[in-house]
Amino acid sequence: MAILYGSETGNAEEIAIELEDMARRLHYQTKMDEMDSFKLSDLLKVSLVIFVTSTTGQGDMPTNTLNFWKNLRREKLNNSNCLGSVKFAIFGLGDSGYRKFNWAARKLQVRLLQLGASEFFRAAEADERHDNGIESIYLPWKAEFRAALLDKYPLPQGVEPIPDDQLLPPKYSVRVIPTMEPLPKDNSAIKSALYSHFDNPPPLSQRRFEYAERQSADFPSWEAREDNSWESRTGKSVDSLDKNNVLKDHPSKYAIEKGDQKVPALPPPTPLQIPEQVIARVIKNARVTPVDHWQDVRHISFDLHGDKRLLQRVLAMMGQSVLSIYPKNYPEDVQDLISLMDWTNVADNPLDITIKPTRLLPRNDGKPSTLRDILTHNLDITAIPKRSFIRQLAFWTPNPDEVERLREFLTPGNEQEFYDYTSRPRRTILELLHDFPGVKIPVDRVLDLFPIIRPRDFSVCNGGHTITEAEYNLDGVKKEVFPLRVEILAALVEYKTIIRKPRQGLCSRYLKHLQPGTYLVVGINPSRGRNVLLPRPRGFERPLIAVATGTGIAPIRALLQERADYEEDGGGSLASDTLLFYGGRNRTKDYHFGEEWGWYGNMRVFPCFSRDPDPPSPLPIKEEKDDKWQVPPKTEEEELVEFGIVSDPDYDKGKKYVQNEIRRRGKEVAELMRKEAIVVVCGSAGKMPVSVRKAFVDVLRREGVVETEGEGERWLERRVVYWEDTW
Ligand SMILES: Cc1cc2nc3c(=O)[nH]c(=O)nc-3n(C[C@H](O)[C@H](O)[C@H](O)COP(=O)(O)O)c2cc1C
């Protein structure tokens, strides 16, 4: 059985892990992986395929399915019945707050059926908005699915399912290499990496990175060698800046500072092979909201260095790109886990990893990772524990009370208790392990147990010439590659939970403490909206109606800067053709980039702040003509209801939201809609995009562009470009 998932934040992956565990207990040979790791022809080699996929973007397939999906959609497969022998089932994950609920799963199902595959069990569509989340659909579906498997494909006589309390063999293979043991003969990569960096030079990007570091005037190598205050001051690990050498390759033999290692406050730079990677040097990390504001929003600038071709590609993305930051765990948390699990003696030995999850990125210098490496860079030890983690944990404690408590969480009917212990207080894996001191996870099971850290994506918030404005010289040294400047606007996830513990997202904590001068390895890719928003040259000559709430302004600012450049370059005139609706809480607190909008002569900005006391701007003057909106005359209250301004009293009443403002500016909006504007809506998911779309349809009707709501919807689908990026 193949279990193939498409997942952005790990929910679908967790379901896939659970389904694999179930299938292994029914004696299936399984292969569980990202959809993209599977070729179409591989589908013909397995008896059953389970697809588990979430939906992202606006009804889009997740990133790790895009290759597979592209292959599946190839035109030459049409009418070929090429998947005639494939039997499949689909579990979809979505959020009914989005218009295109569970579209990825639906699209996949339709295409598989078109190509002749048959569905051997009913598809399910889980909704994150459901009271008990995805589980409320998943748990009963899984039970039925298991029963259907046993019914349709019964086990041979005398063979029983493996009970849940019996340990399955590990899926991945991890072994600690004792320091003095001769290296495995069959593993020449490890051998050469350990013994000689000449055989195995680091990739060019790593060498450039090290070169840049050494050239940097603020890297005092002598000071770094004499004491490690530099390390704790800058958070950079000195070791990672050194050339590969025998001292580094055999630290236990040659280490100078034995026993006197100060733990740096921040994790060292990522030594991982990140796809589409560039080196980013932090230039600025400024909090842009006042300290008394509830949310810490950071405006962070980076200079990008790296492969020239990739940098050219970044330029071509014209600000419509996404920076993927790979957060890491803090040394103190890693050490805490190492001590808790009794791994101290092996934590810094190289590991021999032969079978590993696809998403586990190897080191970029070809060297074997140590346990401490993978705990720092690869494994998410502060994630909220999922079911599959707890299930496995019960095997690793000798304490029967702990086993019982762990198993209780998973007993059907105890979903609420599980939720109250894990998600509600946002308890971390590390905290859970402190609650169960009997648990000692063997090193060879770490990859089976811990989830892998996912990169966090941030929309680049600058475009046009601001991308190429970075200094060509770094500390007076001529660079061999030219840096680009990209900026992000990141709202940090920090809050107190019901157990009153302050919480920080893994990436938020990492970003919060990033110091200027720090180097990171990041990924950069075009945003999903790029092709929609930037068709040259016509795209820039079309009017723009932009709607942003909070940090949703990021991709819009990049687009505005790109368009302004186009105009300056004589590409065309955008005069009076841009409307920006911005929604925040308070003008003085979260009007991100508000001071910049005056620079654009051709743009009208309508900011609205839900928590500011200033009154909403007056309703538009009604035209006293013969249109049907005139009769019968309405009271002001009725008018507010009609225009949807108070349609949802709890949400809208007395407040200023972007959708209200769109209705108030109906004339200007309709004028640009008639000129086939590009409409972009960015910010929080849920009610905002739904209300905004409704407001646009109302405006089209009210201004006589269309007659009915259905026509209004069609106008938005076909006559304008309508792009949503909400999360
Ligand atoms: C940026 C973003 C866009 C989304 N778009 C949709 C959508 O168009 N339709 C839908 O049903 N769910 C949508 N969702 C909801 C996800 O499918 C849902 O949260 C799911 O549990 C995520 O699973 P994953 O972690 O495996 O990706 C979206 C979520 C995010 C964060």
614 pLDDT tier (thresholds 50, 70, 90): low
Alpha helices in 216-320 (DSSP H): 221-226, 229-234, 246-249, 251-254, 308-317
- Cis preceding-peptide flag for 537 (omega within 30 of 0): yes
What CA–CA distance (Å, rounded) separates 5 from 359? 12
Query: What pairing do the DSSP bridges indicate for beta strands 502-504 and 494-496?
Result: antiparallel
Average pLDDT over residues 367-374: 93
Residue of 437 and 214 predicted with greater confidence: 437
DSSP state of 321: E
Q: Strand, helix or coil at 34? A: strand
pLDDT given for residue 540 in this prediction: 80
pLDDT given for residue 182 in this prediction: 55
**470, 311 contact by CB (below 8 A):** no
Q: For residue 318, tell me if it sits in a domain.
A: no
pLDDT given for residue 497 in this prediction: 58
- C-alpha angle 520-251-333 in degrees, rounded to nearest 5: 50
Which residue among 122, 152, 182 closes a domain?
Answer: 152
Alpha-carbon Rg for the chain in angstroms: 28
Nearest CA to ligand 1 atom 1: 727
Average pLDDT over residues 332-337: 95
- C-alpha angle 136-142-147 in degrees, rounded to nearest 5: 135
Q: How far, in Å, from the CA of 571 to the mean position of ligand 1? A: 37
- Torsion angle defined by CA atoms of residues 586, 592, 594 and 597, in that order, rounded to the nearest 10 degrees: -150
Q: What is the CATH number of the domain that holds 29?
A: 3.40.50.360
User: Quick one: the chain helix, strand, coil %, rounded to 5?
Assistant: 40, 20, 45
- Name every residue whose Cβ is closer than 8 Å to that of residue 609 and which is 6 or more positions away in sequence: 583, 584, 585, 586, 587, 591, 656
Q: For residue 706, tell me if it sits in a domain.
A: yes
604 pLDDT tier (thresholds 50, 70, 90): very high
In this structure, the answer to whether residues 579 and 710 fall within a common structural domain is: yes
pLDDT given for residue 467 in this prediction: 87
441: containing domain: 333-453
Q: How far, in Å, from the CA of 99 to the mean position of ligand 1? A: 11
Ligand 1 mutation pick, 56, 99, 454, 684, max ligand atoms within 8 A of CB: 56
> What is the value of ipTM here, to two decimals?
0.99
| Res. 444: pLDDT tops 80 | yes
Residue of 645 and 724 predicted with greater confidence: 724
Q: How far, in Å, from the CA of 681 to the mean position of ligand 1? A: 17
Q: Which residue has the tokens 């259905």?
A: 710
Burial letters 372-402, b for 16+ CB under 10 A, else e: bbbbbbbbbbbbbbbbbbbbbbbbbbeeeeb
In this structure, the answer to whether residues 408 and 535 fall within a common structural domain is: no
Burial letters 499-525, b for 16+ CB under 10 A, else e: eeeebbbbbbbbbbebeeebbbbbbbb
pLDDT given for residue 631 in this prediction: 35
Q: Which of 225-234, 519-528, 644-653, 710-719 bottoms out in mean pLDDT, i.e. has the lowest? A: 644-653
Ligand 1 environment, Cβ below 6 A: 7-12, 54-59, 62, 93-95, 98, 100-103, 128, 134, 727
pLDDT given for residue 360 in this prediction: 92
Q: What are the pLDDT digits (tens) for 204-220?
A: 777 677 666 665 555 44
Which residue among 429, 453, 477 closes a domain?
Answer: 453
In this structure, the answer to whether residues 550 and 416 fall within a common structural domain is: no
53 pLDDT tier (thresholds 50, 70, 90): very high
Report which ligand 1 atom has the smallest distance to the Cα of 92.
17
Q: For residue 234, tell me if it sits in a domain.
A: no
In one letter, which amino acid is 637?
E
In this structure, the answer to whether residues 146 and 19 fall within a common structural domain is: yes
Strand partners, 579: 545, 604
Q: Which residue has the tokens 């075009």?
A: 526
Report which ligand 1 atom has the smallest distance to the Cα of 8.
27
192 pLDDT tier (thresholds 50, 70, 90): very low
What CA–CA distance (Å, rounded) separates 319 from 307? 18
In this structure, the answer to whether residues 717 and 582 fall within a common structural domain is: yes
Nearest CA to ligand 1 atom 18: 94
Q: Calculate the average pLDDT of the chain.
A: 83
**12, 62 contact by CB (below 8 A):** yes
Alpha helices in 383-505 (DSSP H): 387-393, 400-410, 415-421, 429-435, 446-449
pLDDT given for residue 587 in this prediction: 92
In one letter, which amino acid is 368?
P
pLDDT given for residue 521 in this prediction: 87
**324, 270 contact by CB (below 8 A):** no
In this structure, the answer to whether residues 428 and 545 fall within a common structural domain is: no
Q: For residue 679, tell me if it sits in a domain.
A: yes
Report which ligand 1 atom has the smallest distance to the Cα of 96.
11
**389, 451 contact by CB (below 8 A):** yes
Q: For residue 69, tell me if it sits in a domain.
A: yes
In this structure, the answer to whether residues 562 and 426 fall within a common structural domain is: no
Residue of 364 and 223 predicted with greater confidence: 364
Which residue among 453, 480, 515 closes a domain?
Answer: 453
Q: Residue 378: name the closest of 395, 398, 353, 361 by CA.
A: 361
Nearest CA to ligand 1 atom 25: 9
Residue 568 token pair: 């300056």
In this structure, the answer to whether residues 682 and 558 fall within a common structural domain is: yes
695 pLDDT tier (thresholds 50, 70, 90): very high
| Res. 412: pLDDT tops 70 | yes
- Predicted TM-score of the model (pTM): 0.79
Q: For residue 705, tell me if it sits in a domain.
A: yes
Report which ligand 1 atom has the smallest distance to the Cα of 62.
27
Q: How far, in Å, from the CA of 429 to the mean position of ligand 1? A: 24
Highest mean pLDDT among 51-60, 176-185, 520-529, 638-647: 51-60
Residue 150 token pair: 């046993």
What CA–CA distance (Å, rounded) separates 551 from 298? 10
Report which ligand 1 atom has the smallest distance to the Cα of 7.
26
Task: Please give the C-alpha separations between residue 251 and each of 179, 248, 349, 427, in angstroms, as whole numbers.
Answer: 10, 5, 10, 36
| Res. 104: pLDDT tops 80 | yes
Average pLDDT over residues 586-615: 87
What CA–CA distance (Å, rounded) separates 622 from 630? 8
DSSP state of 135: H
Q: Which of 91-95, 144-148, 591-595, 597-601 bottoms out in mean pLDDT, i.e. has the lowest? A: 597-601
- Torsion angle defined by CA atoms of residues 153, 156, 158 and 159, in that order, rounded to the nearest 10 degrees: -60
In this structure, the answer to whether residues 406 and 536 fall within a common structural domain is: no
Average pLDDT over residues 658-679: 93
Nearest CA to ligand 1 atom 6: 56
Number of domains within the chain: 3
Q: What is the CATH number of the domain that holds 548?
A: 3.40.50.80
Q: How far, in Å, from the CA of 565 to the mean position of ligand 1? A: 34
Q: For residue 521, tell me if it sits in a domain.
A: no
In this structure, the answer to whether residues 442 and 541 fall within a common structural domain is: no
In this structure, the answer to whether residues 559 and 663 fall within a common structural domain is: yes
Q: How far, in Å, from the CA of 97 to the mean position of ligand 1? A: 10
Q: How far, in Å, from the CA of 686 to the mean position of ligand 1? A: 11
Q: For residue 167, tell me if it sits in a domain.
A: no
180 pLDDT tier (thresholds 50, 70, 90): low
**37, 358 contact by CB (below 8 A):** yes
pLDDT given for residue 582 in this prediction: 97
Ligand 1 mutation pick, 55, 100, 322, max ligand atoms within 8 A of CB: 55
Q: What are the pLDDT digits (tens) for 244-285?
A: 333 334 444 333 333 333 434 577 776 788 887 888 999 999
| Res. 550: pLDDT tops 70 | yes
Ligand 1 mutation pick, 53, 54, 138, max ligand atoms within 8 A of CB: 54
**90, 108 contact by CB (below 8 A):** yes
Q: Residue 436: name the closest of 409, 416, 475 by CA.
A: 409
Strand partners, 124: 91
% residues pLDDT > 90 (the chain): 57
In this structure, the answer to whether residues 554 and 679 fall within a common structural domain is: yes
Nearest CA to ligand 1 atom 31: 727
Q: How far, in Å, from the CA of 128 to the mean position of ligand 1? A: 8
Q: What is the CATH number of the domain that holds 393?
A: 1.20.990.10
